[in-house]
Chain A
Amino acid sequence: MLRFEATQMILRHAGDRPIVANLGPTTDELWHAGHRDRNFYTYGNMGLCSSLALGMALSTPEKVVSLDGDGSLLMNLGAIASIGREQPKNLVVIVWDNQQWGQTGHQPSHTACGTDLEQVARSCSISHTATVRDLETLEQVFCQALEEDGPWFIVAKIEEAGYMPVSPIEPEMTLYRFRNSFLKK
């Protein structure tokens, strides 16, 4: 499964729901798949994607989608414990798991060496979990996660397949656009 085609699928089903993207290729591919006000692009704050999404889920009734990565989440495993403790029904975490730190020279990450993030989530009291390896299964689980209460934690195993051009993200504008879309409601 390629992250970009999976991101396109997520956008097709997400409607107007907020999506937070991990830094680097995940943010770039979300921008290329379809820029919208409800995309929160992170840029440099490695490890904080799902913590941001948790803070959002606790502060809006809308369903929040976090597109995290294995390397980033490994930097902040405590985020999974805090999600398990808070049990936000409106949070869907998807971990793009390429089992490596792709941007820094493709070094194998801990998920290539025995760490099972789905089991980490389950042991942190997150009961709606899945590990998926193809686009069709991801689509099916994601659509279920949009309809049913969470928190959801979905590990999506992806192939590493090169990078798209860096997206023209301006952090201050990202926050302004994203936040305004909630204030206007």
Chain B
Amino acid sequence: MNWAETIVESLKKWNTSLIAYVPDISIHQVTSLIDNDPYFHLVSATREEEAIGIAAGAYAVGRNAAVFMQSSGFGNSINAIASMCIPYRMPIPMFINLRGGPGEFNIAQVPMGRSTRPILDLLGLVHFTLDDDYKMDKIVDGAMKLCYANRQPVAICLTQLLHGGKLA
């Protein structure tokens, strides 16, 4: 199983069937699997804070939902997470393509990419970073379990070392 299939399997194990996202080429491999699988409803948002709102709405009526976005988009979504997911205790797994690491070619992606995890720490949110697929199934599965047990968002940061990234 490759990294993308590992994520899809874990989403299914945790009955997480609504996926809200803003497209990103580096994690297209996983969102295209989701798009082609009738188990899921993949919803395109125009902006990442909207994706958080859509996922939160699904959870509020009893359906588990996750979001996929890039670290720049995490920047767009911070107040939605801080003012909704955290005070309402909404467990939204967030799969974030973490830019700004080894291999980054775009100067504009570095500041938000580098500050994503410190901001998650300031918000008190748990995060895991995947640089390769070693123990990835256990980490993703454990992150999902923790997310639903703690009823707070959990971030799973996927780096270029894992998925190959976008070529300059």
Residues of A within 8 A of B52 (CB): 48, 51
Within 1-55 of A, Cβ neighbours of B (below 8 Å) are at 18, 20, 40, 42-48, 51-55
Task: Identify the B interface with A (CB < 8 A).
Answer: 18, 20, 41, 43-47, 49-50, 52-63, 65, 79-80, 83-84, 87-90
A58 near B18 (CB under 8 angstroms)? Answer: yes
Residues of A within 8 A of B88 (CB): 171-172, 174-175
Nearest A residue to B55, CB-CB: A55
Stretch at the interface among A106-114, A130-138, A146-154, A176-184: A176-184
Q: Which of A58, A86, A178 has its CB near the most chain B CB atoms (within 10 A)?
A: A58
Closest 8 CB pairs of A and B: A55-B57, A78-B46, A51-B53, A48-B53, A55-B54, A52-B57, A59-B63, A44-B83
B61 near A56 (CB under 8 angstroms)? Answer: yes
Instruction: Give Cα distance in the complex from A85 to B43, angstroms.
Output: 9
B61 near A78 (CB under 8 angstroms)? Answer: no
B49 near A183 (CB under 8 angstroms)? Answer: no
- Which of B18, B46, B59, B61 lies in contact with A82, CB distance below 8 A? B46
Task: Identify the A interface with B (CB < 8 A).
Answer: 18, 20, 40, 42-48, 51-60, 76, 78-79, 81-82, 85-86, 171-172, 174-175, 178-179, 182-183
A81 near B61 (CB under 8 angstroms)? Answer: no
A52 near B60 (CB under 8 angstroms)? Answer: yes
Residues of A within 8 A of B79 (CB): 45
| Given A53-B57, A78-B47, A82-B54, A183-B62 contact (CB < 8 Å) | yes
26 A-B pairs whose Cβ atoms sit less than 8 Å apart in the complex = A18-B61, A20-B57, A42-B84, A43-B83, A45-B53, A45-B80, A48-B56, A52-B53, A52-B54, A52-B56, A52-B60, A55-B18, A55-B20, A55-B59, A55-B60, A55-B65, A56-B58, A58-B18, A58-B41, A59-B57, A59-B58, A59-B61, A82-B43, A179-B59, A179-B60, A182-B61
Nearest B residue to A176, CB-CB: B89
Instruction: Give Cα distance in the complex from A82 to B18, angstroms.
Output: 15
A58 near B47 (CB under 8 angstroms)? Answer: no
Nearest B residue to A52, CB-CB: B57
A182 near B90 (CB under 8 angstroms)? Answer: no
Instruction: Give Cα distance in the complex from A182 to B63, angstroms.
Output: 10
Instruction: Give Cα distance in the complex from A51 to B53, angstroms.
Output: 5
Residues of B within 8 A of A44 (CB): 83-84, 87
A179 near B50 (CB under 8 angstroms)? Answer: no
Minimal beta-carbon separation of B112 from chain A (angstroms)? 19
Residues of B within 8 A of A79 (CB): 46, 50, 53
B18 near A47 (CB under 8 angstroms)? Answer: no
Instruction: Give Cα distance in the complex from A54 to B44, angstroms.
Output: 12
Residues of B within 8 A of A174 (CB): 88
Q: Which of B45, B60, B90 has its CB near the most chain A CB atoms (within 10 A)?
A: B60
Minimal beta-carbon separation of A88 from chain B (angstroms)? 10
Residues of A within 8 A of B62 (CB): 59-60, 179, 182-183
- Apart from A52-B60, A86-B43, A174-B88: 5 A-B pairs, beta carbons within 8 A: A20-B57, A43-B87, A55-B59, A55-B65, A171-B88
- Which of B18, B43, B60 lies in contact with A40, CB distance below 8 A? B60
Minimal beta-carbon separation of A153 from chain B (angstroms)? 16
